[in-house]
Chains A and B, each alone.
Chain A
Amino acid sequence: MSTINRDAVRQTILDALSSVAPEADLASLDPKAALRETLDLDSMDFLNFVIALHKALGTDVPERDYAKLATLESCVEYLVTHGR
Chain B
Amino acid sequence: MPSLGADMDAGTLVEWHVGPGTVVKRGDVVALVETDKGIVEVEIWESGTIDAVLVAPGTKVPVGTVLATTRADGAPTPATAAPPAVLNPPVSPAAPHAEVRASPAAKQLAREQGIDVTKLHGTGPHDTVTRADVERAVGATATGAPATSPEHERMQAPPPPAAAAERPSGIDTAGMRRAIAAAMARSKREIPHYYLSADIDLAATIAWLEGDNARRPVTERILLAALLLKATASAIREVPEINGHFVDGVFRPSSAAHLGVAISLRQGGLIAPAIHDVQDKSVAEVQIALRDLVARTRVGRLRSSEMSDPTLTVTNLGDQGVESVFGVIYPPQVALVGFGRVVERPWASGGMLGVRPIVTATLSADHRVSDGHRGGVFLAAVNRLLQRPEEL
Contacts and interface: CB of A to CB of B under 8 A. Distances in A.
Interface of A: 14-15, 18-27, 39-40, 42-45, 47-48, 50-51, 54, 60-63
A25 B199 CA distance: 39
Nearest to A64: B214
B319 A22 contact: no
Contacts of B319: 42-43
B357 interface: no
A14 B132 contact: yes
A27 B294 contact: no
Interface stretch (B3-11, B103-111, B327-335): B103-111
Contacts, number: 79
Contacts of A15: 123, 130, 132
B132 A63 contact: no
Q: Is the interface of A mostly helix, strand, loop or mixed?
A: helix
Q: Which of A14, A20, A23, A43 has the most CB of B within 10 A?
A: A23
Contacts of A21: 266, 298
Of listed A25, A26, A44, A48, residue having the most chain B CB within 10 A: A44
Nearest to B320: A42
A31 to B, nearest CB: 16
A80 B137 CA distance: 27
Give the dominant DSSP class at B's interface: helix
B298 A20 contact: yes
A48 B219 contact: no
B105 A23 contact: yes
Contacts of B267: 23
A55 to B, nearest CB: 8
Contacts of B218: 47, 50-51, 54, 60-61
B132 A18 contact: yes
B39 to A, nearest CB: 13
Interface in B193-232: 210, 213-214, 217-219, 221, 223-225
11 contacts: A18-B132, A19-B123, A21-B298, A22-B106, A23-B105, A23-B266, A24-B131, A27-B135, A42-B264, A47-B291, A48-B291
